[in-house]
Structure 1
Amino acid sequence: MPLRTACPIDLGAAERARLKMMAYGHKTEHRLRVRAQVVLHAARGRSNARIARQTGLHRDTVRRWRNRFAEQGIVGLSDRPRAGRPPVSTALRRAEAKALACQLPTETGLPVSRWSCPELAAELTARGITGPISPSTVRRWLTEDALKPWQHQSWIFITDPDFRAKAARVLDPYARTWNGEPLGEDEYVISADEKTSIQARCRCHPGLPPGKARALRVNHTYRRGGSPRLSRRLRRPPRPRARPHRRTNRHRPVMNLVTQVMSTEPYDSAKRVYWIVDNGSSHRGQKAGRLITAFPNAVMSHTPVHASWLNQVEIYFSVVQRKVVSPNDFTDLTEVGDRLRAFEDRYNTAAQPFQWRFTTSDLDDLLARLDRHNADHHEESSVALAA
């Protein structure tokens, strides 16, 4: 009877590197590690008997993985699909579980605000939809349709019938147009607002700098050192600029900011200066109106209610919040002001215009989607009431 010869193994550089990672990687499964070692031994021209002695495997096992790698490559080292135990859950049960997850728990009589996987598993068992089931199985079912009932988001319905017209008065100057006419070189657009709630939290213990496998640490206990108000204006184009912060309230910071800007060039002699502001109390009323009428070339455009995200200066405020204010570790208000002024000087040296891409066309698409969503919501509510 002729002797059976071992199948020769030839490895490329990429295959050898990958097999070495599998054979000696700390996170590789044990079975894949052993199979990769078998192939590496075989690539060195060793016999199956010798590989079996070195790895502690049976000769037939070595022969199987050697031949399978020669036929299929690295893919052949993985286990083949197995039939396994028949699934206990049916498609109908999974659909009922997902339908329950899409309902509010209060509608089912459960005194919780949001579903969790353990509560869903208990409710499915109590209703007899399934037998005893684990929360991990419920989570796996919900993952099939990307359902996460334990999360929540908030939104605001648009109630202003003139929302589109008011938003266009903000978006058109961003696009360098006004009443359908392009803006000239001597016309400017300024986004202005105030950032409140900048507290000087004086920590009872100094913060610890970050280190290896350790984040920046800030003491939880603090005393309040006051809160200034930050007034800013953002010019388009070409670069963001900032004005010194003010500690007073209401109209005075806005009056000082507008007067300071409109009294300097090129705004003093400009044909028109468009001020984009929100509906804060300091931007409305008779005082704000008198302030604008004092400068004939100034035009104030208010964003719609609950639409301060249309004001581009909010982008700069988010930068200040991330890079300066958080995690809010200051000794007093003086340090807050010094830090803000130093950051402004640093930021303005390398600031670039924000790439604003939301136009009136995008606004029309957004309003159309909201109308369809509201129509579907009202239709579902009507069906539920009729049922």
Structure 2
Amino acid sequence: MRAHVVLHAALGRSNARIAREAGLHVDTVRTWRGRFAEEGLSGLADRWRPGRPPSFTALQAAKVKALACQFPAQTGVPLSRCSCRELAREVVQRGIAPSVSASTVRRWLAQEALKPWQHRSWIFITDPAFGPKATRVLDLYARTWRGEPLGPDEYVISADEKTSIQARCRCHPTLAPGQARAIRVNHTYSRGGALAYLAAYDVHHARVLGRTEPRTGIDPFMNLVTQVMNTEPYASAKRVFWIVDNGSSHRGQKAADRLTKAFPNAIMVHTPVHASWLNQVEIYFSVVQRKVVSPNDFTDLNQVVDRLRAFEECYNATARPFQWKFTTSDLDDLLTRLNRHGADHQQRTAVTLTA
């Protein structure tokens, strides 16, 4: 930074221009320009200052960050993930530093937002028609279908099932929160059965219509469809688009034909395989999981049913459409990155096999 200030000054530039181009404060530019003029090259060195000198160099910190970016197995450590304490031990064993604490390692990693002790699962795209299928869903969220805008009498429904909602009766009452104490839920419980919660979410009007069934399947799903399609404004709508995933209750062209045969104004649109995250009803189910099901403390299934129905009424009274931000442009960028990643992987595999 100091050298850049001097080089800019050698070109005859003003302090204000140097500060603007180097991203510095004008006082900083003035300081180092003045020291170089008075003391020459030695004026750019650090002056003596009180206090403890740094214990580690920037190079040592960089080596620790590089070590955190490697899989432990690649370095000969029999671990799948490393904690800060384990990284600190490895740093000493490798001779990067004579000693270092776990808190120091954690501080260095926090500067780069590195968390090697965490992991995140993902799945690679396997549906060959992922692009066209995802585009249809995203277009519906943007209120278009095959290039034409949807009319006011056309609706988009996102539907799915939340399976195995249990009624767990705790052996001791749940305690309400108190001073410096969270809600306490007893670990021991007795099972009171399980049910499935089927929900249809109106994407653009934030309205939920749901029902409970003993289990999932074709008939329970069609019961949900019948409930929704016999309710206004969907009963008299020009078209109602049903966005569903590839679950067994509504998979494939047979399910689409079954829906259209029962209700001619209904059109089933499938998300790509392994892409339920494109289905907005999953966001609603996450709300149900956090606000209704957890912690699970119900005496019987009737209480579960009553709670779900009451929550639907409460949710519909205040809900607003989700702010869906993933667009077709984002989809194109995603597919481009994945295609590039797949090409690089194939190239690396070919090189390995050749070697």
- Name the CA distance, whole Å, in 2 between partners of 1:329 and 1:340: 13
Structure 1 segments unaligned to the other structure (5+ residues): 1-80
Is 1:209 aligned with 2:185? Answer: no
Q: Match for residue 357 of structure 1? A: 325
- Name the CA distance, whole Å, in 1 between partners of 2:236 and 2:155: 11
Q: 1:306 aligns with which of 265, 274, 277?
A: 274
Structure number with greater CO (CA < 8 Å, separation at least 6) is 2
Structure 2 segments unaligned to the other structure (5+ residues): 1-47
Q: How far does residue 275 in structure 1 lie from its aligned partner after superposition? A: 0.5
Q: Match for residue 98 of structure 2? A: 131
Describe the SS at the equivalent of 2:315: helix
Q: Match for residue 245 of structure 2? A: 278
Change (3 A) 1:339 1:264: closer
Describe the SS at the equivalent of 2:272: coil
Q: TM-score, length-normalised on structure 2?
A: 0.78
Q: Match for residue 33 of structure 2? A: none
Question: Quick check: which has more Rg, 1 or 2?
Answer: 1
Is 1:348 aligned with 2:302? Answer: no
Is 1:93 aligned with 2:60? Answer: yes
Post-superposition Cα deviations, 1:134-173, rounded to whole Å, max 9, x if no partner, equal 2223223323323221111122222223111001111111
AA partner of residue 266 (structure 2): A
Q: How far does residue 362 in structure 1 lie from its aligned partner after superposition? A: 2.3
Post-superposition Cα deviations, 1:32-66, rounded to whole Å, max 9, x if no partner, equal xxxxxxxxxxxxxxxxxxxxxxxxxxxxxxxxxxx
Q: Check whether the contact 2:170–2:188 (CA below 8 A) recurs between aligned residues.
A: yes
- Name the CA distance, whole Å, in 2 between partners of 1:177 and 1:321: 31
AA partner of residue 340 (structure 1): L
Q: Match for residue 87 of structure 2? A: 120
Q: How far does residue 303 in structure 1 lie from its aligned partner after superposition? A: 0.7
Moved more, 347-356 or 168-177: 347-356
Q: 1:104 aligns with which of 71, 74, 82?
A: 71
- Name the CA distance, whole Å, in 2 between partners of 1:204 and 1:326: 17
**Mapping 1:29-178, distance limit 5 Å:** 82-178=49-145
- Name the CA distance, whole Å, in 1 between partners of 2:61 and 2:154: 61
AA partner of residue 77 (structure 2): L
**Mapping 1:187-266, distance limit 5 Å:** 187-266=154-233
- Name the CA distance, whole Å, in 2 between partners of 1:241 and 1:135: 49
Note the aligned Cα RMSD (angstroms). Answer: 2.5
Q: Check whether the contact 1:231–1:245 (CA below 8 A) recurs between aligned residues.
A: yes
Q: TM-score, length-normalised on structure 1?
A: 0.72
Q: 1:337 aligns with which of 298, 305, 324?
A: 305
Q: Check whether the contact 2:163–2:216 (CA below 8 A) recurs between aligned residues.
A: no
Q: How far does residue 176 in structure 1 lie from its aligned partner after superposition? A: 1.4
AA partner of residue 98 (structure 2): G
- Name the CA distance, whole Å, in 1 between partners of 2:227 and 2:293: 26
Q: How far does residue 371 in structure 1 lie from its aligned partner after superposition? A: 3.7
Describe the SS at the equivalent of 2:121: coil
Describe the SS at the equivalent of 1:196: strand
- Name the CA distance, whole Å, in 1 between partners of 2:65 and 2:304: 50
Q: Check whether the contact 1:251–1:288 (CA below 8 A) recurs between aligned residues.
A: no
Q: Match for residue 366 of structure 1? A: 334
AA partner of residue 139 (structure 1): R
Q: How far does residue 289 in structure 1 lie from its aligned partner after superposition? A: 3.5
- Give percent identity, aligned residues only: 69
Q: Check whether the contact 1:275–1:298 (CA below 8 A) recurs between aligned residues.
A: yes
AA partner of residue 339 (structure 1): R
Describe the SS at the equivalent of 1:207: coil
- Name the CA distance, whole Å, in 2 between partners of 1:96 and 1:187: 59
Q: Match for residue 38 of structure 2? A: none
Change (3 A) 1:266 1:134: closer
- Name the CA distance, whole Å, in 2 between partners of 1:174 and 1:109: 49
AA partner of residue 271 (structure 1): K
Change (3 A) 1:333 1:159: same
- Name the CA distance, whole Å, in 2 between partners of 1:357 and 1:97: 37
**Mapping 1:171-186, distance limit 5 Å:** 171-186=138-153
Post-superposition Cα deviations, 1:344-367, rounded to whole Å, max 9, x if no partner, equal 122222222223233212222232
Aligned residues: 307
- Name the CA distance, whole Å, in 2 between partners of 1:354 and 1:137: 41
Q: Check whether the contact 1:282–1:288 (CA below 8 A) recurs between aligned residues.
A: no
Change (3 A) 1:143 1:280: same
Structure with the higher strand share, 1 or 2: 2
Post-superposition Cα deviations, 1:187-213, rounded to whole Å, max 9, x if no partner, equal 221111111131111111010011111
Q: How far does residue 262 in structure 1 lie from its aligned partner after superposition? A: 2.3
Change (3 A) 1:147 1:238: closer
Q: How far does residue 103 in structure 1 lie from its aligned partner after superposition? A: 0.9
Q: How far does residue 379 in structure 1 lie from its aligned partner after superposition? A: 6.6
Describe the SS at the equivalent of 1:232: strand
Describe the SS at the equivalent of 2:267: strand
Q: Check whether the contact 2:161–2:216 (CA below 8 A) recurs between aligned residues.
A: no
